[in-house]
């Protein structure tokens, strides 16, 4: 950091060739800088400059990061005794190569992996389930570069009559 620097200038560009644009100025202090409002599944390039009242540093080495895929839209519906059908849709910006699907009897914890649906799959039927039981599911998309947040849903199997 430039001696006497009072601010750090964060610059961003969406292509490796630039030009960089200033997006935020922050006081010189340890910590992280958050950049919001970005497109999902997109690579961004960043650099920092230190600025004092009388001088400005050269830009830092460029750092690259890719934003997460958007979480898929996930729904669940009971389709008969001991069966729940899960259906999902990847958002337009996402091109997942694989999915991670998990189930739990407790919302938010103790998930166990279910067979991984293939990349082009948009539904899965969970069978041989206990009657009148609520099951909680979560699904995330994986690509070569990153992954999505979890999408969550739940459904209750019907009473067997």
How do residues 7-56 score in pLDDT, each as one tens digit?
999 999 988 777 999 999 988 877 788 888 888 888 899 999 989 888 88
pLDDT of 93 higher than 70 = no
Compute the distance between CA of residue 72 and CA of residue 49 in angstroms, rounded to an integer.
Answer: 37
Residue 2's pLDDT is 55
Per the confidence metrics, is the pTM higher than 0.75? Answer: no
What is residue 16's three-state secondary structure? coil
What is the per-residue pLDDT across 112-144, written as a single tens digit (0 to 9) for each? 999 988 878 899 999 999 999 999 999 998 887
What is the sign of the dihedral through the CA atoms of 30, 66, 138 and 91? positive
In what helix (H) or strand (E) does residue 136 lie, and over which residues does it extend? strand 134-142
Compute the distance between CA of residue 41 and CA of residue 98 in angstroms, rounded to an integer.
Answer: 15
Residue 144's pLDDT is 79
63: Cβ contacts below 8 Å, ≥ 6 apart:
45, 46, 47
Question: Do residues 40 and 67 make contact, with C-beta atoms less than 8 angstroms apart?
Answer: yes
**Which of 77, 73, 70, 129 has its CA nearest to residue 104?**
129
């Amino acid at each position: 950091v430039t001696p006497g620097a009072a601010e750090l200038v964060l610059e961003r560009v969406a292509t490796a060739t630039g030009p960089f644009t200033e997006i935020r100025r922050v006081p010189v202090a340890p910590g992280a800088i958050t950049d919001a409002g970005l497109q999902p599944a997109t690579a961004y390039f960043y650099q920092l400059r230190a600025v004092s009242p009388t001088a400005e540093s050269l830009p830092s080495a460029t750092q690259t990061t890719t934003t997460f895929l958007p979480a898929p839209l996930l729904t669940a519906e009971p389709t008969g005794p001991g069966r729940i059908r899960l259906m999902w849709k990847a958002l337009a910006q996402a091109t997942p190569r694989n999915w991670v699907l998990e189930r739990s009897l407790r919302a938010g914890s103790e998930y166990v992996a279910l067979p991984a649906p293939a990349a082009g799959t948009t539904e899965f039927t969970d069978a041989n389930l206990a009657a009148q039981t609520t099951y909680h599911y979560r699904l995330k998309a994986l690509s070569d570069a990153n992954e999505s947040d979890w999408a969550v849903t739940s459904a209750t199997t019907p009473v067997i009559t």
